[in-house]
Structure 1
Amino acid sequence: MKTTDQIVVYPIIIKYEPDDTDCPYLVTIPDLDNGMTQGKSIADAIAMAEDYIGTTSLEESLPTSNYALPQTKKNETVTLVRVNVSEYKRKHDNKVVKKTITIPNYLNELGKENGINFSEVMTNALRDKFSI
């Protein structure tokens, strides 16, 4: 974590709904216009909420949370989740950015002759380098 990373904390409501056998834990995130997701367990539900918040951060600016824990009803659990938005974006933002690289001319010519997509080659090489 870098000291300038954006960290957000949001309350979530987890409701157990035993009728849904695959993902019986329904998650509501009130601060995100009642965003919803599901989980197979409490831990999975929390992870899904973190992912929902992170994914939302890729698409729009996140609102400020007041950190107020909502009142619970029967079969509900309320907790806070913390998401390092900056780290999430570093790992999941697939937006394409232009980079200029320098390679020897003979490799450039061979690449053009063989129809090589240099961006694809560089992307794959970086994925291999970072083991992702």
Structure 2
Amino acid sequence: MDKIFYPAIFHEAEEGGFWISFPDFPECFSEGDDMSHAYRMAVEALGLAITSREQEKEKIPVPTDFHQLSVSEKEKIVIVEFDMLAYLKRTKSRAVKKTLSIPEWLNEAACNAGLNFSQVLQEALIVKLNAK
């Protein structure tokens, strides 16, 4: 999943700021003190909703065409950009231990070159997955 764009409805809150809902994710709400803060919170809430659905093997909905939405005078339709890779880098960067097997000659050459196996593996996986 690359970047995906979902419409959100930013509702003006009586006490100031906004509360946010997503037509495609009825379980997803957030709030923010101003438009900038609300947008950042909307991205985080959307990330939680999408990753939760993925973990539960539930369908990720196709974004609703924002032209099909109607809002009141105190509501705004805002398109929220979600980048799954960036979200996972921010929220799931804890190191995990991996055991692997390589040929003895390759191990000796890498050790003699002073290579950090974890760093080399990370770099190779990023290149392989095109996940810069």
Q: Normalising by structure 2, report the TM-score.
A: 0.61
Show the counterpart of 1:108.
Answer: none
Gaps of 5+ in 1: 102-121, 123-132
- CA-CA distance at 1:16 after TM superposition: 0.8
Contact kept? 1:16, 1:26, Cα under 8 Å: yes
Contact kept? 1:25, 1:39, Cα under 8 Å: yes
- CA-CA distance at 1:100 after TM superposition: 3.2
- CA-CA distance at 1:34 after TM superposition: 5.0
Aligned residues, how many? 95
Contact kept? 1:16, 1:75, Cα under 8 Å: yes
Gaps of 5+ in 2: 55-59, 101-117, 119-132
Contact kept? 1:50, 1:81, Cα under 8 Å: yes
Show the counterpart of 1:65.
Answer: 63
Deviation string, structure 1 residues 8-28 (Cα, Å, up to 9, x no partner): 110011111123x5xx31101
Give the letter for the 1:83 counterpart.
F
Mapping 1:1-132, distance limit 5 Å? 6-19=2-15, 24-61=17-54, 62-69=60-67, 70-93=69-92, 97-100=96-99
What is the RMSD of the two structures over their aligned residues, measured on CA atoms?
2.5
**2-side partners of 1:41 and 1:28: how far apart?**
15
Partner-residue secondary structure (3-state), 1:81: strand
Q: Which moved more, 1:42-51 or 1:63-72?
A: 63-72
- Overall identity of the aligned pairs, in %: 19
- CA-CA distance at 1:92 after TM superposition: 0.7
Contact kept? 1:58, 1:93, Cα under 8 Å: no
Partner-residue secondary structure (3-state), 2:30: strand
CA gap of 1:97–1:60, structure 2 versus 1, over 3 A, is farther
- CA-CA distance at 1:99 after TM superposition: 1.7
**1-side partners of 2:41 and 2:28: how far apart?**
11
